């Protein structure tokens, strides 16, 4: 059985061209098209659940597969083909080793995290938080003195890559962990911070989607849940349990949508992995990295009403944007989701962490500012600067977490969370 199956598979593989055909020849590859961004068109595109990549100079850019192009024609929405094509945008042969050059694939990340643990025993500890739908481990790197022990120190969380195509959002968390470890021995400020805290870094929350983005379709966003009816993927940044499914604007009940929320809060193993880590610790602050827009977002995402800790959240974001600018000269805008990105979200990560534990929680959308600046395609040469401008922002927030822990050593968890904990099988604190 097995032998026959793999012989067939081998034969089928021979028929698949080794290099992607240029877009236009392969019907599975999308085209990038633009349309006039007039309100009626925007509303229509939104209700048709198109994958909107961004808006600039009165045009809206859309990733459209052949069936989407047919829908645009049927709707009599005039569009223009853009010069980018996904086939061209996939990096060529590795510049610095590996199939996606300086960016990490999942297996490369696994190798480099293991390497950090081996180089910095006692300071770096890798654990798997659980497995993705397709069985890939979701790794966390913990950085602290005595990393193998749970010590009474300020806990801090950094997440990357909820969205598969946002490759740069893997690099910043990984490089943050690496920098802490490599500088620990020589930089007294870093040593002091690392000694007083427990830093948990999850660079790749969505390994299945990321792998699919690397190998098959560069613009893939969601995980790889088979939803039935030939539709795949849950948006794991709409699957968290705070105001999950509140309305159909902030997330979608449609399995074909790019913002499909899944069948229930925490229906996906990827969000459960983050949830279980979060509920088993007592984090003081967190950042979830995304791209693109170059903006620091804080809760709420589900409403335009301000969060109860507005002044703390806004003040910390201003401080972060300030240090970022001193590194690179770039300005990160800051504010609540709706004010910055023009749309509401429900079931997103930071609404859940803030809504559950009340801790400063940020979504940082990394550069570029817009689609025309490269969108999801960061140049390999920009990784370092993007990381370096984010480093002092993370260190400032970490310092705040350390100070907060010193001021209020008791966990800041809400009564709600304390009631929830035993029901989820976690020990009461
Ligand atoms: O829509 C999202 O999930 C995030 N943007 S992205 O382009 N990377 O997909 C933004 C989430 C914003 N969340 C809150 N403001 N709470
Ligand atoms: Ca420690
Ligand atoms: Ca601890
Ligand atoms: Zn994202």
Per residue, the 3-state secondary structure of the chain, as one string, reads CHHHHHHHHHHHHHHCCCCCCCECCECCCCEEEEEECCHHHHHHHHHCCCEEEEEECCEEEEEECHHHHHHHHHCCCCEEEEEEEHHHHCCCCCCCCCCCCCCCCHHHHHHHHHHHHHHCCCCEEEEEEEECCCCCEEEEEEECCCCCCCCCCEEEEEEECCCCCCCHHHHHHHHHHHHHHHHCCCCHHHHHHHHCEEEEEECCCCHHHHHHHHHCCCCCCCCCCEEECCEECCCCCCCCCCCCCCCCCCCECCCCCCCECCCCCCCCHHHHHHHHHHHHCCEEEEEEEEECCCEEEECCCCCCCCCCCHHHHHHHHHHHHHHHHHHHCCCCEEEEHHHHHCCCCCCCHHHHHHHHHCCCEEEEEECCCCHHHCCCCCCHHHHHHHHHHHHHHHHHHHHHHHHHHHHCCCCCCCHHHHHHHHHCCCCCC
Q: What's the rounded mean pLDDT across residues 133-158?
A: 98
Which range among 4-18, 33-47, 81-95, 337-351 shows the weakest confidence by mean pLDDT?
4-18
| pLDDT value for 341 | 87
Which range among 42-51, 230-239, 348-357 shows the weakest confidence by mean pLDDT?
42-51
Where on the phi/psi map is residue 202: left (φ > 0), alpha (ψ -120 to 50), or beta? beta
pLDDT of 231 above 70: yes
Just list the catalytic residues: 365
Q: How many angstroms is it from 151 CA to the middle of ligand 3? A: 4
Indicate which residue's Cα is closest to atom 13 of ligand 1: 301
| pLDDT value for 12 | 37
What distance lies between CA 102 and its chain's CA centroid?
A: 18
| pLDDT value for 24 | 37
Q: How many angstroms is it from 39 CA to the middle of ligand 4? A: 24
pLDDT confidence bin for 6, thresholds 50/70/90? very low
Q: Write out the two tokens for 74.
A: 């049927």
Q: What's the rounded mean pLDDT across residues 359-364?
A: 98
Ligand 1 mutation pick, 237, 304, 343, max ligand atoms within 8 A of CB: 237
**Does the CB atom of residue 307 touch ligand 1 within 6 A?**
no
Model confidence over 275-334: pLDDT tens digits? 999 999 999 999 999 999 999 999 999 999 999 999 999 999 999 999 999 999 999 999
Q: Which domains does the chain have, with CATH numbers?
A: 106-424 (3.40.630.10)
Ligand 1 mutation pick, 53, 286, 290, max ligand atoms within 8 A of CB: 290
Model confidence over 14-59: pLDDT tens digits? 333 333 333 334 445 677 788 999 999 999 998 888 888 888 778 8
**Does the CB atom of residue 162 touch ligand 1 within 6 A?**
no
| pLDDT value for 127 | 98
| pLDDT value for 1 | 32
337 Cα nearest atom in ligand 1 = 15
**Does the CB atom of residue 294 touch ligand 1 within 6 A?**
no
Mean pLDDT of the chain: 88
Indicate which residue's Cα is closest to atom 12 of ligand 1: 337
**Does the CB atom of residue 351 touch ligand 1 within 6 A?**
yes
Ligand 1 mutation pick, 160, 262, 307, 337, max ligand atoms within 8 A of CB: 337
Q: What's the rounded mean pLDDT across residues 142-155?
A: 98
Which range among 19-28, 230-239, 373-382 shows the weakest confidence by mean pLDDT?
19-28
Q: How many angstroms is it from 407 CA to the middle of ligand 3? A: 16
Distance CA 390, CA 384 (A): 10
| pLDDT value for 235 | 98
Which range among 17-26, 77-86, 193-202 shows the weakest confidence by mean pLDDT?
17-26
| pLDDT value for 214 | 92
**Does the CB atom of residue 337 touch ligand 1 within 6 A?**
yes
pLDDT of 90 above 80: no
Model confidence over 378-424: pLDDT tens digits? 999 999 999 999 999 999 999 999 999 999 988 665 555 665 666 66
**Does the CB atom of residue 350 touch ligand 1 within 6 A?**
yes
What is the b/e burial string over 145-173, where b = at least 16 CB atoms within 10 angstroms of the residue's CB? Answer: bebeeeeebbbbbbbbbbbbbbbbbbbbb
**Does the CB atom of residue 345 touch ligand 1 within 6 A?**
yes
**Does the CB atom of residue 301 touch ligand 1 within 6 A?**
yes
Q: How many angstroms is it from 428 CA to the middle of ligand 3? A: 15
How many other CB atoms are found less than 10 A from the CB of residue 188? Answer: 9
Which protein residues have a CB closer than 5 Å to ligand 2 (ion)?
Answer: 144-146, 151
Who wins on pLDDT, 207 or 65? 207
Question: In this structure, which ligand is nearest to the CA of 283?
Answer: 3
């Amino acid at each position: 059985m097995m032998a026959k199956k793999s012989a067939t598979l081998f034969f089928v593989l021979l028929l698949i061209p080794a290099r992607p055909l240029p877009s236009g020849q392969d019907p599975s590859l999308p085209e990038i098209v633009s349309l006039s961004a007039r309100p009626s068109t925007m509303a229509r595109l939104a209700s048709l659940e198109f994958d909107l990549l961004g808006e600039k100079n009165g045009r809206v850019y859309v990733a459209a597969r052949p069936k989407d192009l047919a829908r645009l024609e049927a709707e009599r929405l005039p569009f223009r083909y853009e010069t980018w094509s996904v086939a061209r945008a996939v990096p060529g042969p590795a510049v610095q080793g590996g199939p996606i050059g300086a960016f990490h694939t999942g297996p490369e990340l696994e190798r480099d995290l293991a390497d950090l643990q081996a180089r910095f025993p006692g300071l770096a500890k890798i654990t798997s938080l659980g497995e993705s739908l397709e069985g890939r481990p979701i790794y966390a790197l913990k950085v602290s003195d005595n990393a193998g022990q749970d010590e009474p120190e300020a806990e801090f969380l950094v997440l990357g890559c909820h969205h598969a195509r946002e490759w740069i959002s893997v690099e910043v968390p990984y490089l943050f962990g690496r920098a802490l470890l490599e500088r620990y021995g020589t930089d007294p400020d870093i040593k002091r911070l690392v000694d007083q805290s427990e830093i948990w870094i999850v660079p790749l929350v969505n390994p299945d989607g990321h792998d699919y983005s690397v190998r098959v379709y560069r613009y893939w966003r969601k995980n790889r849940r088979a939803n039935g009816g030939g539709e795949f993927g849950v948006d794991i940044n709409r699957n968290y349990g705070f105001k999950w499914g509140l309305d159909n604007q902030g997330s979608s009940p449609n399995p074909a949508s790019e913002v499909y929320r899944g069948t229930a809060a925490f229906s996906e193993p990827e969000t459960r992995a983050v949830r279980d880590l979060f509920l088993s610790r007592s984090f003081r602050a967190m950042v979830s990295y995304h791209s693109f827009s170059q903006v620091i977002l804080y809760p709420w995402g589900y409403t335009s009403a301000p969060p109860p800790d507005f002044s703390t959240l806004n003040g910390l974001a201003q401080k972060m944007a300030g240090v970022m600018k001193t590194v690179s000269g770039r300005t990160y805008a800051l504010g609540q989701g709706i004010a910055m990105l023009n749309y509401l979200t429900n079931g997103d990560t930071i609404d859940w962490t803030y809504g559950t534990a009340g801790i400063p929680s940020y979504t940082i959308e990394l550069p570029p500012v817009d689609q025309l600046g490269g969108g999801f395609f960061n140049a390999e040469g920009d990784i370092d600067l993007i990381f370096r401008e984010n480093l002092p922002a993370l260190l400032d927030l970490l310092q705040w977490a350390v100070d907060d822990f010193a001021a209020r050593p008791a966990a800041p968890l809400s009564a709600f969370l304390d009631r929830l904990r035993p029901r989820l099988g976690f020990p009461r604190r």
